[in-house]
């Protein structure tokens, strides 16, 4: 693996980015050639008759488009300890576990040092552009990261979440030092097996180093909001810890207590300052700049399903900018945000042509039906069109359909600038209706404006197709921040129903082919229980995304929701 140096030249990183994106077509050919040459001995490639060829035409002619299900038998052999060249030339020694929140089932993704190198490349590129706009000199990061425990499969392969594999890599600390983003939290906190204890200690470390915090980050916006919602509940306990110099008894792991005791000494002055600032805030507005006066920006993935949390995050952030970070997945990285001052709702990402070989499947609307066409190359996409991302990476995923839908907004040199639109396979459908994750989000946003008039917010939401009786109908679960009247919630329910404008849905509702939408209110803390459920299964809290549609395999999540319903409302639309 290439050596990760303590420092890097940001101007050189930007120059290299410009060079690569100007020559994207040739860079893509070289990237594919490198991947195929390194893995020419792989059983999977040899079985497809590629015979050592590395040109894009032969590759596309021989290698089929695949999903995870297609590669699962090969991956299972790796998990079981088969060290022969199955998907890659060199043995795969680690597996990344997806969060499982999108599909209800964790995927095992091959991981290797080459993927860590692409992680470094994308981190460096994004940071170089961010630091031009928001310069950081010698600050530290309050990073809400949670590294789930690495384990061994029965075949002896190291398994952990994608974030755990990154955080535990020997080069990670050097990378963060070079990017001027060392965490205020010691490793014992980051690698704690208990999510809630880690979160509490992250907050405490942030307060102890409040003057040095120049960046507040988390992999997802949800984690940032969850952290400061938690702060609202525990701030007085944190203040007591600082005043007395003794860690709360809620922290029970000995190695965390030992690490934190090295940081804690009685500090009544700091405790009084934080106490004064907290009681002086109105409904916690502007909490972040009050606690961390030198914070330049908040960083995390804030697009797609994370947009729901932006309003609350801005409430906490006050005037501190929100910056959406890199675009990637458990399978690998795709693109950098090189325009960090753009609001997250309008953020675009520039695909890095050297980190993987990319293809894009055009998603066209023909006769009212969306159809998939043959994929096109990175430099053959058209501005304004939507595509599903397909990529080939150095860790054994070849022509892998990622399931993400993006829209090409423009070009950066010869490389597409894309906006994430949605997951392709998250769909609310009963018969001819086809409502996506975006349609659900827009419906919730529209209806939640009625709550906003009452100064109440939707903390989180999800959906479910109820087919227990004819006709089937949509169920939307809401957790809200206060007590709303039945009249307002009835109105919200009807508004949710009317806000789905898909023609198949509207026509089906009008002829009673789909029943009236149902809004079910759940107790406060219900979505926290869902997070804890996934963490208990081995998912990383850092990777958690609330599942927006509860499928038939998510029986436990549905059970949690149903057990916590406190009220339900039926839409009066289309009566």
pLDDT in tens, 191-217: 887 888 999 999 999 999 999 999 999
pLDDT at 5: 42
Task: Indicate the SS3 state at residue 535.
Answer: helix
With respect to residue 126, please indicate whether it lies within any of the assigned structural domains.
Answer: no
Q: Report the share of the chain in percent with pLDDT over 70.
A: 90
pLDDT at residue 203, as a whole number = 96
- Looking at every residue in the chain, the average pLDDT score rounds to 87
Min mean pLDDT across 58-72, 96-110, 472-486 is at 96-110
Phi, psi of 550, rounded to the nearest 5 degrees: -85, 110
pLDDT for residue 167 is more than 90: no
Please tell me which residue, 240 or 330, carries the higher pLDDT value: 240
The predicted pLDDT at position 369 comes to 54
Tokens 């994004």 found at: 126
131-140, 215-224, 422-431, 475-484: least confident range: 422-431
Phi, psi (rounded to 5 degrees) for 297: -165, 165
Kind and range of the H or E element at 56? Answer: helix 56-62
Whether 78 shows a pLDDT value over 50: the answer reads yes
C-beta of residue 15 within 8 angstroms of C-beta of residue 65: no
Q: For residues 445-484, b (16+ Cβ closer than 10 Å) or e, as one string? A: eebbebbeeeebbbbbbbbbbeeeeeebbbbbbbbbeeeb
Average pLDDT over residues 50-67: 92
Q: Are 267 and 343 within one domain?
A: no
Whether the pLDDT of residue 394 is over 60: the answer is: yes
Q: Does 102 have pLDDT greater than 90? A: no
Q: Are residue 211 and residue 236 in the same domain, yes or no?
A: yes
- Quote the strand ranges of 356-442, DSSP E: 357-366, 369-372, 376-377, 386-392, 400-412, 415-423, 427-428, 435-436
The range of the structural domain enclosing residue 232 comes to 135-320
Residue 303 — pLDDT band, cuts 50, 70, 90? confident
Predicted confidence (pLDDT) at residue 425 exceeds the cutoff of 70? no
Instruction: Give the residue-averaged pLDDT of 105-122.
Output: 82
pTM: 0.82
| pLDDT given at position 236 | 96
Instruction: Judge whether residue 6 has pLDDT over 60.
Output: no
In terms of DSSP H, where are the helices of 429-502?
Answer: 437-452, 486-499
| pLDDT of res. 434 | 80
pLDDT at 27 over 90: yes
Q: State whether 157 and 240 are in the same domain.
A: yes
Whether residue 471 has a cis bond before it, omega within 30° of 0: yes
| In a shared domain, residues 295 and 403 | no
Residue 75 has pLDDT above 80, yes or no: yes
Domain's final residue, options 403, 423, 443 = 423
Residue 367 pLDDT grade (very low, low, confident, very high; cuts 50, 70, 90): very low
Q: What are the CA-CA distances from residue 537 to residues 84, 149, 159 (Å)?
A: 30, 12, 13
What pLDDT is recorded for position 431?
77
Average pLDDT over every residue of 151-159:
75
For the cut 90, the answer to whether the pLDDT of residue 519 exceeds it is: yes
Mark whether 505 and 403 lie in a shared domain: no
Q: What is the C-alpha separation between 532 and 379, in angstroms, rounded?
A: 42
What is the number of structural domains in the chain?
3
Q: Residue 537, Cβ neighbours under 10 Å: how many?
A: 13
Please check whether residues 18 and 95 belong to one and the same domain: yes
Q: What angle do CA 458, 464, 466 make, to 5 degrees?
A: 135
pLDDT at residue number 238? 96
Band of the pLDDT at 110, cuts 50, 70, 90?
confident
pLDDT one-digit tens code per residue, 309-329: 999 999 999 999 999 988 888
Let me know if residue 4 belongs to a domain. no
Cβ 477 vs Cβ 465: under 8 Å: no
Q: Is residue 247 part of a domain?
A: yes
pLDDT of residue 25: 95
HEC per residue, 178-223:
HCCCCECCCHHHHCCCCHHHHHHHHHHHHHHCCCCEEEEEEEEHHH
User: Is the pLDDT assigned to residue 426 strictly greater than 70?
Assistant: no
User: Residue 338: is its pLDDT beyond 50?
Assistant: yes
Residue 130 belongs to a domain: no
Q: Is 203 or 179 the better-scoring residue by pLDDT?
A: 203
The answer to the question of residue 222 being in a domain is yes
Percentage, residues of the chain above pLDDT 90: 54
For residues 215 and 302, state if they share a domain. Answer: yes
285-to-239, 277, 313, 318, 323 alpha-carbon distances in Å = 19, 11, 10, 7, 19
The pLDDT value given to residue 48 = 93
Over 80: is that where the pLDDT of 372 sits? no
Residue 545 falls inside a structural domain: yes
Residue 104 lies in a domain: yes
**Each residue of 254-290: pLDDT tens digit?**
989 999 999 999 999 999 999 999 998 988 999 999 9
Give CA–CA dist 403/427, Å, rounded: 12
Q: Provide the pLDDT for residue 2.
A: 41
Confidence class of residue 113 from pLDDT cuts 50, 70 and 90? confident
Residue 164 and residue 69 share a domain: no
| 397 inside domain | yes
Evaluate if residue 1 carries a pLDDT over 60: no
161 with 42, same domain?
A: no
Per residue in 489-511, pLDDT (tens digit) is 999 999 999 999 888 888 888 88
Beta strands in 268-381 (DSSP E): 297-301, 322-324, 327-329, 332-336, 349-351, 357-366, 369-372, 376-377
21 plus 107 within the same structural domain = yes
Asked whether residue 252 carries a pLDDT value surpassing 50, the answer given is yes
- The residue that leads in pLDDT, 138 or 395, is 395
Does residue 518 have a pLDDT over 70? Answer: yes
Clarify whether residues 315 and 354 are in a common domain: no
Among the listed residues 202, 52, 35, the one whose alpha carbon sits nearest the alpha carbon of residue 118: 35
Compute the radius of gyration of the chain from its Cα atoms.
24
Same domain, 195 and 343: no
Q: Are 155 and 82 in contact (CB under 8 A)?
A: yes
């Amino acid at each position: 693996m290439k050596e990760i140096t303590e420092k890097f030249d940001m101007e050189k990183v930007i120059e290299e980015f410009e060079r690569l994106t100007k020559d994207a077509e040739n860079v893509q050919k070289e990237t594919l050639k490198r991947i195929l040459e390194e893995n020419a001995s792989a059983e999977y490639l040899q079985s497809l008759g590629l015979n050592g060829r590395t040109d894009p035409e032969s590759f596309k002619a021989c290698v089929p488009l695949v999903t995870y299900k297609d590669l699962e038998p090969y991956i299972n052999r790796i998990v079981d300890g088969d060290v022969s060249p199955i998907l890659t030339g060199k043995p795969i020694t680690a597996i990344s576990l997806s969060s499982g929140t999108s599909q209800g089932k964790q995927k095992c993704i091959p991981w290797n040092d080459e993927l860590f190198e692409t992680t470094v490349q994308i981190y460096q590129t994004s940071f170089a552009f961010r630091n031009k706009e928001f310069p950081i000199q010698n600050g530290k990061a309050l990073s809400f990261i949670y590294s789930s425990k690495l384990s061994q499969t029965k075949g002896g392969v190291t398994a952990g979440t994608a974030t755990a594999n990154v955080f535990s890599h020997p080069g990670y600390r050097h990378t963060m030092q070079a990017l001027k983003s060392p965490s205020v939290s010691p490793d014992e906190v980051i690698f704690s097996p208990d999510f809630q204890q880690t979160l509490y200690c992250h907050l405490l470390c942030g307060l102890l180093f409040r003057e040095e915090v120049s960046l507040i980050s988390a992999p997802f916006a949800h984690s940032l909001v969850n952290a400061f919602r938690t702060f609202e509940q525990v701030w007085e306990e944190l203040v007591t810890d600082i005043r007395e110099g003794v860690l709360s008894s809620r922290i029970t792991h000995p190695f965390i207590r030992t690490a934190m005791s090295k940081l804690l000494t009685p500090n009544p002055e700091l405790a009084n300052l934080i106490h004064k600032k907290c009681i002086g805030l109105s409904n916690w507005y502007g909490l972040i700049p009050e606690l961390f006066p030198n914070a330049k920006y908040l960083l995390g993935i804030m697009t797609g399903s994370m947009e729901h949390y932006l309003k609350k995050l801005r409430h906490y952030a006050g005037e501190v900018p929100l910056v959406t970070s890199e675009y990637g997945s458990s399978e690998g990285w795709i693109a950098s945000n090189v325009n960090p001052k753009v609001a997250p709702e309008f953020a675009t990402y520039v695909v890095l042509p050297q980190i993987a070989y990319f293809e894009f499947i055009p998603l066209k609307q023909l006769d009212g039906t969306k159809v998939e066409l043959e994929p096109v190359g990175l430099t053959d996409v058209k501005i304004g069109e939507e595509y599903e991302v397909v990529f080939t990476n150095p860790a054994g995923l070849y022509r892998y359909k990622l399931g993400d839908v993006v829209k090409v907004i423009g070009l950066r040199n010869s490389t597409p600038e894309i906006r994430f639109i949605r997951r392709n396979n998250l769909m609310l459908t009963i018969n001819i209706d086809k409502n996506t994750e975006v349609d659900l989000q827009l419906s919730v946003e529209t209806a939640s404006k009625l709550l906003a008039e009452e100064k109440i917010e939707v903390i989180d939401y999800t959906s479910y197709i109820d087919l227990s009786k004819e006709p089937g109908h949509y169920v939307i679960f809401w957790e809200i921040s206060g007590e709303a009247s039945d009249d307002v919630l009835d109105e919200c329910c009807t508004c949710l129903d009317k806000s789905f404008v898909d023609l198949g849905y509207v026509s089906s509702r009008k002829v009673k082919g789909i029943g009236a939408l149902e809004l079910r209110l759940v107790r406060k803390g219900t979505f926290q229980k869902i997070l804890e459920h996934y963490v208990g299964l081995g998912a990383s809290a850092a990777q958690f995304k609330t599942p927006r549609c509860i499928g038939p395999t998510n029986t436990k999540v549905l059970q949690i929701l149903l057990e916590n319903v406190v009220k339900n409302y039926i839409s009066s639309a289309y009566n």
